[in-house]
Amino acid sequence: MKVMLIGAPGSGKSTLARTLQAKTGWPLLALDQIWHALPAGPAAKATFDAAQRHFMAAHASWLIDGNYASSIPLRLAQADLVVWLRVAPPLAVLRNVRRSVRFRIDPSTRPDMAPGFKERLDADYLAFLWYGLTFRRTQEPRLKAMLLANPATRLWIIDSAAGKSALIGALTQAARGGRQG
């Protein structure tokens, strides 16, 4: 099974991805870990895309955590399932702030980030929080259009703890049964 997880920053993608990896044994690619390890510049996008292609080609089943809209079509072309996490925008922002504070105290709280990544509480960080707050209005229409362009890929929208539990149960069972669909 090839599963991509998308959603606003702070929606719980990375946490759910790590849980799914532990339950299924499927390899996990955390896109933040790749992107934030790359030097800024024109080659970054090509390197980022190449890393995703390599990962997908190397594994029969996989989990990929992260949005990075410009590379969604790459993943979507191979994914069996898209898991879309949705939370209220103020909750997403609160989770991001809480996560940032914990990360400043203990970087091991974010194993999905590149080694040496430093989060700065500056104008870029405020822009990131604004991005999370406006995600539903500004980004979701674009995501919906990409998903509609690939109707063969199943979509599972999660907006509750019960939805997360159901997904974890279904994918754990799929992994144990060796089923690919």
Split into its structural domains, the chain has a count of 1
Mean pLDDT of the chain: 89
Which H or E run includes 97? helix 89-105
Kindly report the number of other CB atoms within 10 A of residue 93's CB atom.
Answer: 21
| pLDDT-derived band at 178, boundaries 50, 70, 90 | low
The residue with greater pLDDT, 126 or 3, is: 3
Query: Model-level pTM?
Result: 0.86
Q: Are 102 and 148 in contact (CB under 8 A)?
A: no
Nearest to 9 by CA among 147, 131, 125: 131
Q: If DSSP codes are grouped into helix, strand and coil, which group holds residue 155?
A: strand
Q: What CATH number does residue 162 fall under?
A: 3.40.50.300
Instruction: Quote the tokens at residue 122.
Output: 């500056």
Q: What are phi and psi of 145, to 5 degrees?
A: -60, -40
Cα–Cα dist 127/106, whole Å: 23
When pLDDT is averaged across residues 135-139 and rounded to a whole number, the result is: 92
Domain with 102, as residue range(s), is: 2-177
pLDDT digits (tens, 9 = 90+) for 40-88: 888 999 999 999 999 999 999 999 999 888 899 999 999 999 999 999 9
Residue 156 has pLDDT above 50, yes or no: yes
Where does the pLDDT of residue 181 fall: very low under 50, low under 70, confident under 90, or very high at 90 and above?
Answer: very low
